[in-house]
Amino acid sequence: KYGSDALRFTLARGANPGVDVPIGEEWVQGSRNFTNKLWNATRFALMNGATVEGPLPPAERLSATDRWVLSRLGEVTAQADALYDDYQFAKLSDLLFHFAWDEVFDWYV
């Protein structure tokens, strides 16, 4: 009904060690909305010429917005690595969700 990616993300969001969290249908719907938004943003970027080829250009050739999102990506990556190493999958999912939705989708894309 909602797709396997939505279910996987829902399970990751609810993965708090030692805590039983009831997962309702609204959680799965929210995860489906997120995975759809991720898919649509990726498709939009690719349709508008986004490519990944080699290293990034020097910072002085990037726009201020590009530098900002790359800076935030570095911060989020460091936080995500620490959460992953500590098996904090629910917090990791929340971090990635809010970075993608609130910063990348709402401001950058």
In this prediction, residue 60 carries a pLDDT of 93
Looking at residue 101, which CATH number applies to its domain?
Answer: 1.10.730.10
Task: Indicate the pLDDT class of residue 35, thresholds 50, 70 and 90.
Answer: very high
Provide the domain limits for residue 65: 4-108
Is this structure's pTM higher than 0.75? Answer: yes
How many structural domains comprise the chain? 1
For the cut 90, the answer to whether the pLDDT of residue 1 exceeds it is: no
Q: Which pLDDT band holds residue 36 (cuts at 50, 70, 90)?
A: very high
Q: How far is it, in rounded angstroms, from Cα 99 to Cα 55?
A: 23
* Predicted local confidence at residue 54, as pLDDT: 87
